[in-house]
Amino acid sequence: MSDEIAQDVRKGFAYGLRQSLTIVIGYAPVAVTFGILATQFGLTYWEAGLMSFFVYAGASQFIAIEMIHQGASFWMIGLTTLIVNIRHLLMSLSVVPYFPERTLKWSLGLAHGLTDETFVLNTRVMKDVIGEENRRRVMLGINLGAYSSWFVFTILGGVIGKWLPIQFSGFQFALLALFIILTTMSLSKNNYLTYLLAAVLAVVLKLLIPGKIYLILSVALAAGIGALWRKRARSRLINPSNEQTIKVS
């Protein structure tokens, strides 16, 4: 038992930083591409870097620079980004149970580093980490590794775009591919039905509801149904005699 505890204690910030390398590898070409496109659309390399530093919204940044290029208003860009990223509300709520004694400082710091990719990696890794303090440090390592790489490689791409006339197309899908890979790695026999239900609901609601709200609804419904099903299954395992009593009566 003591060996297990000692091994788990080592799962701290450095462990999370090492885990983030899987995301860094995927982020690097996409961030460089964003930096290049941003400078080609009229931003300076440091403006592109500041967007990655403060916004850190992946695909939304590609949308934002396109809207800036087209002369969209500040409020329209902000509203569009909010709609695209509103799914982060659900992701944040899913992470909260790992930190029952969280403080505001930690909540704000960890929330800023939450992306599609870090969310999937964090929820997969933290299942094997004991202790809230260890989980905070692991998540900080994962988030900071991904966040730093996105910022640094955006600056690099901006510098490259300033001096070299490079044209890119289709690289925006690299983030989606990375998210799919990480999601597939997190699948297990305990949650694959929830993922499948979310996919079916997304297709059905897409046909019924305009806009992007169908994504939020499909995930929320699937997560709720999955949680309810798990709760009932767990209660049956804990109190099998109750079910037998009901059947007999």
User: Which pLDDT tens digit goes with each residue over 147-184?
Assistant: 999 999 999 999 988 887 766 555 555 555 555 655 66
Which of residues 139, 157, 186 is at a domain's end? 186
Per-residue model confidence (pLDDT) at position 206: 83
Residues 63, 83: contact at Cβ < 8 Å? Answer: no
Q: Which of 192, 214, 222, 244 is nearest to 94 (CA)?
A: 222
Q: Among candidates 128, 140, 115, which has minimal Cα distance to 23?
A: 115
Instruction: At 191, list the tokens.
Output: 């949650």
Contacts of 236-245 with CB under 8 Å at 24 or more apart are none
Q: What is the pTM of this model?
A: 0.68
Residue 220 scores a pLDDT above 90: no
Q: Are residues 147 and 218 part of one domain?
A: no
One domain, residues 224 and 173: no
Of the two residues 96 and 191, the one the predictor is more confident about is 96
Query: At residue 244, does pLDDT exceed 70?
Result: no
Instruction: Band the pLDDT of 249: cuts 50, 70, 90.
Output: very low
Domain coverage including residue 236: 190-249
Report residue 51's pLDDT band, with 50, 70 and 90 as the boundaries. Answer: very high
Rounded CA gap, 90 and 216, in Å?
8
Q: Which of 186, 212, 240 is the last residue of a domain?
A: 186
Judged against a pLDDT cut of 80, whether residue 236 lies above it is answered with no
Domain identity same for 32 and 79: yes
Same domain, 177 and 199: no
Query: How many separate domains does the chain show?
Result: 2
Contact 12, 137 (CB under 8 A): yes
Whether 215 and 180 share a structural domain: no
**Alpha helix segments (H runs only) across the chain:** 2-9, 13-19, 21-40, 45-54, 59-69, 74-85, 87-95, 104-112, 116-125, 132-163, 173-186, 192-208, 213-238, 240-248
- What angle, rounded to 10 degrees, do the helices at 21-40 and 173-186 form? 160
Q: How confident is the model at residue 18 (pLDDT cuts 50, 70, 90)?
A: very high
Alpha-carbon distance 231 to 87, whole Å? 24
Q: In the prediction, which pLDDT does 6 show?
A: 43
pLDDT of residue 11: 77
Tell me, yes or no, whether 21 and 86 share the same domain.
yes
53 in the same domain as 131: yes
Same structural domain, 98 and 165:
yes
Mean of the per-residue pLDDT values of the chain: 79
Query: How far is Cα of residue 22 from the mean position of the Cα atoms in its chain?
Result: 14
Better-predicted residue by pLDDT, 138 or 58: 138
Instruction: Report pLDDT for 64.
Output: 86
248 alpha carbon, distance to own chain's centre: 48
What CA–CA distance (Å, rounded) separates 111 from 99? 12
In this structure, the answer to whether residues 97 and 207 fall within a common structural domain is no
Alpha carbons 217 and 220: distance in angstroms, whole number: 5
Which of 145, 169, 186 is where one domain is finished? 186
Name the band, by pLDDT with cuts 50, 70 and 90, for residue 2. Answer: very low
- 211 and 128 in a single domain? The answer is no
Residues 21 and 53 in one domain: yes
Of 13-17, 88-92, 185-189, 190-194, where does mean pLDDT reach its minimum? 185-189
User: What is the band of 199 on the pLDDT scale with cuts at 50, 70, 90?
Assistant: confident
Of residues 153, 135, 143, 124, the one with CA closest to residue 28: 153
C-alpha distance from residue 158 to each of 69, 120, 155, 185 (Å): 16, 28, 5, 32
% the chain with pLDDT above 90: 26
Instruction: Report, in angstroms and rounded to the nearest whole number, the Rg of the chain calculated over CA atoms.
Output: 21
Closest CA to 14 of 144, 128, 122, 120: 144
Is 243 found in the same domain as 174?
no
CA proximity to 150, closest of 111, 118, 120? 118
